[in-house]
Amino acid sequence: MTWQAMIQSVQNGWIVVSIDFLVSLKTPQTTINSLFPSAEIISILRLTESILMEENSLLEVEAPIKIIGDLHADFENLKTIFDLIGRVPKEKMMFLGNYVNMGASGIELVVLLFCLKIRYKDRIFLLKGNHETPAVYKGRNQGIKLSK
C-alpha cells in the first residue's frame, strides 16, 4: 500500500465515523464544539475546500441524480430526505445551496454535507445558494466561533 493510499484509508475511516455520528444524532441540542474538536472541523473545512476548488464551475453530471434544495439549516429535514430517497453511495445527489440561515442546526448540517462530499466526492455535488453569500448570511447571524 502506498503512503497516499494509507492516508486516504485513514481519512475515509475518520470521515465515515463522523458521518455515522452526525446521522445518528437526534435533534442536535448542543453546539458543534461539543460534537467535534475544533481541529477536526477545520480539517473537514480544508478538505472540502480542496475538493471543491478542483471542480469546474459548471458541473456536468449524469442521471440518475437526486436534486435537493433549500435545507435552511433543518438538520432533521435532511435526515428525513435521506430516509425517503436513499443515501450515498447508492444515490447520487446534488444539493442546490441555501444550507444555512433559518434553522438552528446549520453548522451540523453543513459539516455533515461536507463529510459526505469528502467521502463520496463523485456522488455528492454542492452548489452555493444565495444564503451562502455574505450579504444574506451576515444579516441573520452573528458568525461562528470555534472554541479551541
- Catalytic machinery residues: 131
Using an 8 Å Cβ cutoff, are 143 and 68 in contact?
no
C-alpha cell at 135: 450579504
Amino acid at 23: V
3-state secondary structure 62-103: CCCCEEECCCCCCHHHHHHHHHHHCCCCCCCEEECCCCCCCC
